[in-house]
Amino acid sequence: MQCRDFREVADSYLSDELLVETNHHVLAHLESCADCRRELAARRHLRQTLRRSFESAAELQIDTDFAARLRTQLRAKALDQSSPTFVGSRAWLAIAACLLVVFTFGLVFIRQHMQAPSAQRSAADGENSNTAGAKLPTQQSRAGGANAAVNVVMRDAARFAVGDHRNCAIKFDLPEAPIDLEVAGRKYDHAYINLAKAVTDQLAGASGEMEFVEAHSCVFEGRRFAHLVLRQHNRLISFLVTDLNAPEMSERPVQAETKGSPQIIACSQVEGYQVSCFETSSHAIFVVSDLSEADNLNLARVLAPAIYQHLSRAERSA
């Protein structure tokens, strides 16, 4: 895509009216053209200014007297229409009461017939649990606890990660400008230091057409991320790391260290994007993209071992 082509579709892009394929071409062009990024930002600012001016224009405000008259007329009309239906509403109430009685008797009948089989199944289940209880591995309870912790912690954090992917990697629309990842590592979180090298080294040893685009640290809605942008077949992928000990995550469950074996979870779709995630004792890690669920999860599995070790070492030395 050339700059001339971008200018023709810029307004459609801002209105989210482009096809997915065209949208990818626009994003690819914006990554390499600073002039078009500035023009896009200027157009977005102009649209917002026009919208605010239009909404606040005095000549477009509704007349207060007209609004009062219209409100009175509508209220009177509604009262006139509702009064004749009182008798009919009583008939409907009687019908509803009859249906409720029938439903109640039916429910009692069904429960009585289900109690006997349920009692038999409960007795059988009790015998099975007594014989097999000693054989249940303790790993199941630990896995259940880990899944519960992930569900509690990751649900909100995944929303932040998707928002950062969309507003930083895709739209370049963050209020606070990103900073160099190594600088952020020295200033905010030592785990960010050499994180980009750990990711690129792991990608270099893996098969697949994965391209490293850039690494920085950015803030979305008050949450800071280490943000590594990757690209595969012209599709942008965000690899994001954030500190779980931030104030807004202070009540999270404490995760036991798993000695180099991260539990990778496919968080399904969040706002239309695939999210795969895992965590260390102090950090949450996300892979966000519009790839298929299998491809997104596979990328997380490729990166997880090396990144888990890198973050765990940084946490132990902190």
- d(CA 61, CA 55) in angstroms, rounded, equals 8
Please compute the mean of the pLDDT values over residues 120-138 and round it to a whole number: 42
Give the pair of three-digit tokens for residue 99. 């249906």
Query: What element of type H or E holds 112?
Result: helix 86-132
Per-residue confidence (pLDDT) for residue 248, from 0 to 100: 54
Confirm whether 71 is domain-assigned. no
**59 alpha-carbon distance from chain centroid:** 41
Q: Which residue has the higher pLDDT, 164 or 36?
A: 164
- d(CA 241, CA 173) in angstroms, rounded, equals 19
Q: Do both 38 and 153 map to the same domain?
A: no
Contact criterion met (CB below 8 Å) for 29 and 6: yes
Q: How many domains does the chain have?
A: 2
Q: pLDDT digits over 70-124, tens only?
A: 888 888 877 776 555 545 566 777 787 778 777 777 776 676 666 544 444 444 4
Whole-model pTM: value is 0.52
Judge whether residue 194 has pLDDT over 60.
yes
Q: Do both 56 and 144 map to the same domain?
A: no
Judge whether residue 152 has pLDDT over 90.
no
Per-residue confidence (pLDDT) for residue 207, from 0 to 100: 63
Q: Do both 170 and 268 map to the same domain?
A: yes
Confirm whether 112 is domain-assigned. no
- d(CA 47, CA 214) in angstroms, rounded, equals 29
Question: Which residue type is seen at 266?
Answer: A
Confirm whether 86 is domain-assigned. no
Confirm whether 113 is domain-assigned. no
Give the pair of three-digit tokens for residue 201. 């080294």
* Last residue of one domain, picked from the residues 31, 60, 89: 60
- d(CA 11, CA 7) in angstroms, rounded, equals 8
Per-residue confidence (pLDDT) for residue 178, from 0 to 100: 95
Give 62-69 contacts, CB < 8 A, sequence gap 24+. none
Per-residue confidence (pLDDT) for residue 132, from 0 to 100: 38
Q: Do both 183 and 302 map to the same domain?
A: yes
Average pLDDT, rounded, for the chain: 78
Per-residue confidence (pLDDT) for residue 145, from 0 to 100: 45
* Last residue of one domain, picked from the residues 60, 84, 107: 60
Confirm whether 229 is domain-assigned. yes
- For residue 17, what pLDDT band results from cuts at 50, 70 and 90? confident
Q: Do both 186 and 285 map to the same domain?
A: yes
Q: pLDDT digits over 243-273, tens only?
A: 988 665 544 444 545 455 677 776 668 888 9
Judge whether residue 184 has pLDDT over 60.
yes
- For residue 236, what pLDDT band results from cuts at 50, 70 and 90? very high
- For residue 61, what pLDDT band results from cuts at 50, 70 and 90? confident
**Containing domain of residue 162, as a range?**
140-317
Confirm whether 253 is domain-assigned. yes
- For residue 47, what pLDDT band results from cuts at 50, 70 and 90? confident
Q: Do both 271 and 154 map to the same domain?
A: yes
Q: pLDDT digits over 160-170, tens only?
A: 999 999 999 99
Q: Residue 227: phi, psi to the nearest 5? A: -120, 115
Confirm whether 170 is domain-assigned. yes
Judge whether residue 127 has pLDDT over 60.
no
Judge whether residue 186 has pLDDT over 90.
yes
The residues, ordered by sequence, that sit 6+ positions from 228 with a Cβ below 8 Å of its Cβ are 181, 195, 196, 199, 212, 214, 215, 238, 239, 240
Which of 269, 259, 268, 254 has its CA nearest to residue 309? 259
Q: Do both 147 and 258 map to the same domain?
A: yes
Confirm whether 82 is domain-assigned. no
Per-residue confidence (pLDDT) for residue 81, from 0 to 100: 60
For residue 161, how many other CB atoms are within 10 A of its CB? 30
Per-residue confidence (pLDDT) for residue 24, from 0 to 100: 80
Q: Do both 146 and 241 map to the same domain?
A: yes
* Last residue of one domain, picked from the residues 45, 60, 75: 60
- d(CA 160, CA 158) in angstroms, rounded, equals 5
Per cent of the chain over pLDDT 70 is 75
Question: Which residue type is seen at 70?
Answer: L
